[in-house]
Structure 1
Amino acid sequence: MELTKMNMKHILVIVLVFFCTAQLAMAQKTNHQVFTLEGCITTAIAANQQLVLAQNQAAIDNTNYQQAKSNLLPYVGANISHGLNEGRSINPYTNAYSDQKIDFAQYNVSASFLLWNGNALQQNIQQNRLNAKASNMDAQQARDNLVIQVILSYLQVLSLQEQIKAAQQQAQVSEAQVQRLTLLNNDGAIAPATLFDMKGQYGNDQLNVINLQNQLTNAKLSLFALMNTNFVENAFFEPIVNEMQKQDSSVTANSAYQLALNNMPMVKAYQYRWESNLKKVKVAKAQLLPSLSFNVGLGTNYSSLANTLQYVNTTEVATGGYVNYNGSKLPVYMQQNNYVNQNISYGQQWKNNFNASLSLVLQIPILNGLQARTKVRQAQIQVKQSAFLLNSTKTQLQQSVYSTYINMLQAEKTEKVSIAQLSDFTQSFHAATVKFEAGVGTSVDYIIAKTNMDKASINAIVARYNVLLLQKVLDYYQGVLKF
């Protein structure tokens, strides 16, 4: 009868503890700042440092590509100069020396059209186009890497949240037993060692909760670091609904690898850089060839000393000579046109001094310190290096995909065994609890059964999330990652 009353008290205590815990959990969630997976990914994409740097580099390379296309346009330039000379200087109007003050102005417009340079400009355009595509792939790869890192970090937080919840429930069960055994010990119904054994088990459960909480804090710090945002101590991360998915049975390690080759931006980036370096070799070789350009120039000038003679009238003036006529000396006159100096107007000089030029320029490289040939050899080495990196990336990708696939199959098997083990140990614990509370079983048997069930519970949670993690990684490699 005494044991029956104590069992009823035990049940009431457990029910009360679980009710208070549920209410406390709801209150904590209400007071905590809630984060979702989609929200974490969106925040990380907007603020992550590595992703922003990769996106900026892609923008720079796309700008370089646009500039490479613009290099096909002719060069057009204008030059305007106004000046004042004092003392002895050259009159820009007459090109003669003058000791007067001169105001002058010069205007020139020139254009240069590159007709041919071994197709270097066209090859440079293709090279920059491939570089831009590679940088875009780098930015996409950085984004994909960030997304999978956030997802894995988020799942790690969820796993620890569930482990803590399970550990707290395990501690509550031990606490309830300590309370029950304390009453029995006070009545002298049990040996004191039984109570102390249970208190020791309760201490182990509390330490397990503390350790898991510390791991959770570190996992949250890592997630906030990925989001590049301030740490929120009371953050609560919303569980993912229906996060488990059944893996397509048709997927094999080789098929996953083939999809990764076609979908991984990292592989495409190395492929584009290899092709870009092939174009770079052609650009370097073009520097060994002659170039032909067509130049056009227009110009005029002004000088304050520029003047012209303006006709005034015609007069007769004595020449100083004479002729004899009938014995008389008669002076000889001649007609003389009279002029005055008149400055030429600014507008008139603009028209009068207008000049134009046309030229074809053939530039033949002969010797420039072998710089062009050195650039060719450097570009050829870069081709070999980029080909090596491309092949190495493919090899490493294959190893990663195969390793993930094998680990996922192993994790699925581990999950099945863990679930079955949890079910078995749960039944064993229930049986041990009945015996222990009926006074038939020992505290040692009860603690062993509880420890086995507690470990199995944590292992089942870890196994379930491990499968989910590996599924997400395999989806990431195949380019079918969803969230």
Structure 2
Amino acid sequence: MKNYALTLIALIVTISSIAQDKWDLKRCVDYAVKNNVSVRQADVQARITALQLKQAKYAKIPSMSFSPNIGFQFGRSIDPTTNQFTTTQLLYQGMALQGGLQIFGFGQVKQNIHANEYNTQAAFTDVEKNANDVSLNVANYYLQVLSAKEQINIAEVQVSQTKSQYDITKKKVDAGALPELNLAELESQLATDSSNLVTAKSNFDLSILTLKGVLNLDAAVPFEVDTPPVDKIPIEPIADLAPDVVFGMAINNQPLQKAYALRIKGAESAIKASKATLYPNFYLGYNLASNFSNPTKSVDYNSVTVIGKTPTSYFVDVNGSNYNVFQPQVHYDQIRRSFFTLWDGYWGQMDQNFRQAIGLTMTVPIFNNTGSYRINYQRSQLDLQNLKIQQHGADLKLKNDIYTAYTNATASMQKYFMGFKTVETSQKAYDYASKRYEVGLLSTIDLITNQNNLLRAKLQQLNNQYDYVFKMKLLEFYKGQGIRLE
């Protein structure tokens, strides 16, 4: 029982700590950026581009390759150590160390490295752009959650007011001062307000689920949003967010614009690298090599056997006497040598056959590759023009977005400040209606109408406020200040 009690206490503490763990905007943005698919894909692509830069830098390092080989030769072949034809089976082995280095190529390697450096920086800037897009999206849904939560508060106040009026009216109806119709009308309004409260809570839950979806967060994970007072969210004066001023700053700090500027520099370097391929290139090469060979069969003279003799037509005169010359009949026992004896003299041959070479090579493109090289050069020029066109289009879109955002922010600001007057007059009308209703000079329907007007005014003003805050924050975002609510 003690263990069960300790487990239960630990579970309660864990749940309590999770429930108290609130998510502010910064935490939401950080989590979304870390887990967003597009940001992760852009990061992988940036790392691939960084590897291409690393590969381009390797061109400055001399190349080197080691090529060992071993095998057997059969039939008519060339002995690799004598370069003569032989029909003897051979065991051979060769080793070679070779490589080279471009010593002059009209800056091809250097410009290729520069192009990859700019492209790598642009790729990592793309990661920043995707992160900014995610941040802006998260901020939008985060403010929607805050707005939905405020709507719950307004709906609860509405229910409380209607309930209070219902209780007062019930007492008067019971005392016979008011007809039961008044009580029925307020009861209907109370049911409507309660339904609105349920709807507001449902909308809040849906807003939370939507925000979780944007964050790529499990829908079952406990999640509570930190609610900063919307009145305390800092907003720059509209005079400091003039569209021409914001655009002048955005053109230099927005990731998309920075990425295009970097890619244009990379394309300019790529043009120079492509142009260098049209001119001669000079390479310094070297080669170190040696080889060994040994026949796989040989005659072992210790195994020669005389099996007979055969007289020939020749004679030898010895002291006036002729003696026949005999030709011995012998048998040569050819034996296969062991694998280990085949390597006899290995180091001696490798030392004697060791050769070295160093040379300078010039390659001049005349016809075979000139066409493709020239096409690549022309294509790199067109790539640069295409990038400049895309950059111009992106700059125009940015400027149009900023001016549109400024227009929307100005309209939202005016709508927000005008909403104060609407709420104020609706509140006065409701207060007067309540007093007239209490003394029996106003019908219940008229009271409910004024109450609903006040509710709609408050809800509309709440929407105006969050819309105003977001659109002002959007201008601050273009200005390069990011998204912040504190």
Q: What TM bracket, shorter-length normalisation?
A: 0.7 to 0.9
Structure 1 position 137 matched with structure 2 position 138: no
Q: Which residue of 2 aligns with 1:282?
A: 272
SS at match of 1:411: helix
Structure 1 position 75 matched with structure 2 position 63: yes
- Residue 478 of structure 1 and its aligned partner are, at CA, apart by 0.7
Preserved contact between residue 89 and residue 296 of structure 2 (Cα < 8 Å): no
Query: What stretches of structure 2 of length at least 5 have no aligned partner?
Result: 1-15, 298-340
Corresponding letter in the other structure for 2:404: S
Distance 1:432 1:127 in 2: 75
Preserved contact between residue 32 and residue 235 of structure 1 (Cα < 8 Å): no
137-146 vs 183-192, which moves further: 183-192
SS at match of 1:304: strand
Distance 1:140 1:179 in 2: 58
Preserved contact between residue 284 and residue 379 of structure 1 (Cα < 8 Å): yes
Q: Which residue of 1 aligns with 2:455?
A: 454
Structure 1 position 126 matched with structure 2 position 127: no
- Residue 266 of structure 1 and its aligned partner are, at CA, apart by 1.0
Q: Which residue of 1 aligns with 2:346?
A: 346
460-469 vs 361-370, which moves further: 361-370
Corresponding letter in the other structure for 1:435: R
Preserved contact between residue 437 and residue 443 of structure 2 (Cα < 8 Å): yes
Distance 1:450 1:165 in 2: 16
- Residue 87 of structure 1 and its aligned partner are, at CA, apart by 4.4
Q: 4+ residue stretches of structure 1 with deviation over 6 A?
A: none
Corresponding letter in the other structure for 1:131: N
- Residue 367 of structure 1 and its aligned partner are, at CA, apart by 3.0
1:191 maps to which of 173, 179, 182: 179
- Residue 418 of structure 1 and its aligned partner are, at CA, apart by 1.4
Q: Which residue of 2 aligns with 1:263?
A: 253
- Residue 194 of structure 1 and its aligned partner are, at CA, apart by 2.4
Percent identical pairs in the alignment equals 21
Query: What stretches of structure 1 of length at least 5 have no aligned partner?
Result: 1-27, 308-341
Q: Which residue of 2 aligns with 1:162?
A: 150
Distance 1:451 1:264 in 2: 45
1:200 maps to which of 161, 176, 188: 188
Preserved contact between residue 29 and residue 236 of structure 1 (Cα < 8 Å): no
Q: Which residue of 2 aligns with 1:357?
A: 357
1:117 maps to which of 95, 105, 108: 105
Structure 1 position 291 matched with structure 2 position 248: no
The verdict on how the C-alpha distance between 1:31 and 1:294 changes in structure 2, with shifts beyond 3 A counting, is: closer
Query: What TM-score does the superposition give when structure 2 sets the normalisation length?
Result: 0.80
Preserved contact between residue 241 and residue 475 of structure 2 (Cα < 8 Å): no
Query: What TM-score does the superposition give when structure 1 sets the normalisation length?
Result: 0.81
193-202 vs 389-398, which moves further: 193-202
- Residue 110 of structure 1 and its aligned partner are, at CA, apart by 0.6
- Residue 95 of structure 1 and its aligned partner are, at CA, apart by 2.4
Distance 2:88 2:377 in 1: 58
The verdict on how the C-alpha distance between 1:116 and 1:30 changes in structure 2, with shifts beyond 3 A counting, is: closer
Preserved contact between residue 257 and residue 401 of structure 1 (Cα < 8 Å): yes
SS at match of 2:403: helix
Preserved contact between residue 137 and residue 265 of structure 1 (Cα < 8 Å): yes
The verdict on how the C-alpha distance between 1:70 and 1:305 changes in structure 2, with shifts beyond 3 A counting, is: same
Give the total of aligned pairs.
Answer: 425
CA offsets 1:2-27 (integer angstroms, 9 cap, x no match): xxxxxxxxxxxxxxxxxxxxxxxxxx
Q: Which residue of 2 aligns with 1:376?
A: 377
Distance 2:392 2:199 in 1: 44
Q: Which residue of 2 aligns with 1:406?
A: 407
Structure 1 position 96 matched with structure 2 position 97: no
2:42 maps to which of 54, 74, 97: 54
Structure 1 position 243 matched with structure 2 position 233: yes
Q: Which residue of 1 aligns with 2:210?
A: 222
SS at match of 2:31: helix
The verdict on how the C-alpha distance between 1:131 and 1:434 changes in structure 2, with shifts beyond 3 A counting, is: same
Preserved contact between residue 91 and residue 296 of structure 2 (Cα < 8 Å): no
Corresponding letter in the other structure for 1:124: N
SS at match of 2:60: coil
SS at match of 1:480: coil
Q: Which residue of 1 aligns with 2:443?
A: 442
151-160 vs 36-45, which moves further: 36-45
Q: Which residue of 2 aligns with 1:334?
A: none
- Residue 298 of structure 1 and its aligned partner are, at CA, apart by 0.7
Corresponding letter in the other structure for 1:294: L
Preserved contact between residue 93 and residue 306 of structure 1 (Cα < 8 Å): no
Preserved contact between residue 69 and residue 94 of structure 2 (Cα < 8 Å): yes
1:304 maps to which of 265, 285, 294: 294
CA offsets 1:347-399 (integer angstroms, 9 cap, x no match): 11121001111222222221348322322232222222111111111111111
Distance 1:92 1:267 in 2: 63
Corresponding letter in the other structure for 2:463: V
Corresponding letter in the other structure for 1:230: D
Q: Which residue of 1 aligns with 2:426?
A: 425
Corresponding letter in the other structure for 1:45: V
SS at match of 2:368: coil
Corresponding letter in the other structure for 1:384: Q
Q: Which residue of 2 aligns with 1:478?
A: 479
Q: Which residue of 1 aligns with 2:52?
A: 64
What's the C-alpha RMSD, in Å, of the aligned pairs? 2.9
Structure 1 position 107 matched with structure 2 position 95: yes
CA offsets 1:234-279 (integer angstroms, 9 cap, x no match): 6321112532434264442211111111111111111112222222
Preserved contact between residue 139 and residue 483 of structure 2 (Cα < 8 Å): no
Distance 2:131 2:449 in 1: 48
Preserved contact between residue 256 and residue 478 of structure 1 (Cα < 8 Å): yes
Corresponding letter in the other structure for 2:267: N
Corresponding letter in the other structure for 1:299: A
